[in-house]
Amino acid sequence: MLMKKILTFIIFILYVWPLMAQSPAKYWVEFTDKKNSVYSVSQPEKFLSPRAIENRARYNIAINEQDLPVNQHYIDMVKALDDSLIVFTKSKWLNGITVYSQKDSMKEKIQNLSCVKFCERTIAMENPEEPFSGRYTYTPAGSPVIPATTPFEELQYGKGEEQIRLNNVHWLHRLGYKGEGMVMMIMDGGFHNVDSIRHFDILRKNNRLLGARNFVQPAQSPFRKESHGTMVLSCIASDIPGELVGSAPNVMVYVAKTEDGRSENVIEEDNWVAGIEWADSLGCGVLNSSLGYTRFDDTLQRRNYRSLNGITSRASRAATIAAGKGMIVCNSAGNEGRGGWRYIGSPADARDILAVGAVDKKGKKANFSSFGPTADGRIKPDACAVGFLTDVASPGGRTVRANGTSFASPLLSGMVACLWQAFPNIDNMEVMDAIRKSGNQASHPDDSLGYGITDFLKAYNLLNESQSVKGQQKLDVTFASYVSQGVPADIKIKADQEIPVTITAQLRGTQKPVSKNVKLKAGEQTISVKLPKLAKSEKYGIVDLKVTGNNIDRTYVMGLEHKAKIKKDKDKK
């Protein structure tokens, strides 16, 4: 028996161990510095697009050393260790690269280089990576056609109407904000048939599908495999009137495949980092990621709840950096609400992003939606949208239903694009703050739905007010609801002192405002304001409500609908 064990051990050492040691793998390599860079912050056009540079200038965000590309000399030092080594991705923000090699002991060899700060294996592959030359690129046939902003246009959402209405984003659409001129990045696991199915015919025809990359298998088209990203994108950009219209049907989009469906490993977070840096270099304003990482196939890579601090995961660190560069990142909270993990994943734990939870079309929490808070106590989710029985596009071109925070997040990200479109000179932090304050649980957030279901008409009014109140007398104005169904508006006003004001409500397209003079008392009071009547022939109306007085000039926007018509429309479904 002993001799048999010894013989088995010798066979393992001679034959099996060398094969294991030579298993193909990918590695994350982080460098010590960016010394002697050929790039300079004084010439950002060498590494950032004109749109990205314009965004930085608009929001007064400095271009710094973090934006400089990785030192090519350092990359060449790593490549010199293995003639067949392949550089898969680069990260200027984290100053590192992902490389692939089939040689043994590569981690140790890389770590011994003087220019290397840290090296780790991010995936041990069962089979060699497919060789490739060149990288897949997609370019539209011509310049994007951006539709003119058209207020009062009524979109025919079809099956998607309830998931749009829950967050009141249809009022932003009615105001003329449907994503025109906004550029989004969608990072996911594959966009099967996005280049052909009918849900995206208008997107492609108008050349608003701006580009596509595959960070997993760079030479392959992201349109040929895996359909999760197809369903995700349809929540935003589907445009089939009467069947399925997304939350921002007129946006321009880039798509990036960063998720590797063959396994679950840390390499995917590094792909994610490369994707978001690409988005930044292109000048994308809003990014959706319906991806999350909690546990990995490699048992050496372990995560626990304490890891959800926004700084453990490289993807989370990159998401926070992206926010500092002016981007709004929306990330699905995760579907672990019923599982042993329970909590959100990474990069949903990142600082200064929007982690999105899921509810059904009645506003009830989807039981799979992951819980907050982060390990360091920050409230999550930041916002909620429909993720249960969400209407989406299948890769076969049918409209189907699907479950997951994966679909709540893109719905919300499209809404964010429409909101930011209305206030292009307000920075990302203020927009996100308004979104959190517009949740139906903003006054009492919890670890289940966080700040709750975002009311985008309320967020619009908060941002509109923030632009107009500077230098005015202090006055806190809140509405019980920004939508009226034929009843007076209840407005809560808090004043520091007694002051007379005039409240005027005017229906757009009419000449007769409704006015009310009120003598405000010091303190808080609720005032009922009669609103103009909506003609029976009109489905809806927009009311401009003004509060004016001595050094006071506030304007708010309310929606007006017929209650009977809403009920009738629902009965038709």
Out of 160-164, 456-460, 518-522, least confident range: 518-522
CA–CA distance, 139 with 35 (Å, rounded to integer): 35
Per the prediction, the chain carries an average pLDDT of 92
Of 509, 507, 464, 418, the residue nearest 176 (C-alpha): 418
Residue 265's pLDDT is 84
In this predicted structure, the answer to whether residue 503 has a pLDDT above a threshold of 90 is: yes
Give the pLDDT confidence score for residue 6 in this predicted structure. 53
Reduce the secondary structure of 382-421 to three states and give it as a string.
CEEEECCCEEEECCCCCEEEECCHHHHHHHHHHHHHHHHH
Q: Residue 551 has what DSSP assignment?
A: T
Residue 276 and residue 271: Cα distance in Å, rounded? 9
pLDDT the model gives residue 21: 47
Phi–psi pair at 79, nearest 5 degrees:
-65, -30
Span 266-301, pLDDT tens digits: 999 999 999 999 999 999 999 999 999 998 877 777
Average pLDDT over residues 102-124: 95
DSSP string, 339-396: SSS-B--BTTT-TTSEEEEEE-TTSPBPTTSPB---TT-----SEEEE-SSEEEE-TT
pLDDT of residue 471: 67
Angstrom distance (rounded) from CA 419 to CA 559? 16
Q: What is the Rg, in whole angstroms, of the alpha carbon atoms belonging to the chain?
A: 26
Using CA atoms, how far apart are residues 573 and 559, in angstroms rounded to an integer? Answer: 23
Q: 573 pLDDT exceeds 90?
A: no
- Amino acid identity of residue 226, one-letter, is E
Please, which pLDDT band fits residue 131 given cuts at 50, 70 and 90? confident
The average pLDDT across 1-21 equals 47
| Distance, CA of 134 to CA of 204 (rounded, Å) | 24
pLDDT tens readout for residues 304-352: 999 999 999 999 999 999 999 999 999 999 999 998 899 999 999 999 9
> Looking up tokens 């893109």, which residue turns up?
410
Token digits of residue 147: 């539709």
pLDDT per position as a tens digit, 77-89? 999 999 999 999 9
CA distance 232 to 186: 8
Mean per-residue pLDDT for 136-156?
Answer: 90
- Tell me the pLDDT tens digit for each residue of 19-74: 444 589 999 999 999 999 999 999 999 999 999 999 999 999 999 999 999 999 99
- Which of these, 496, 459, 451, 495, lies nearest to 479 by C-alpha position? 459
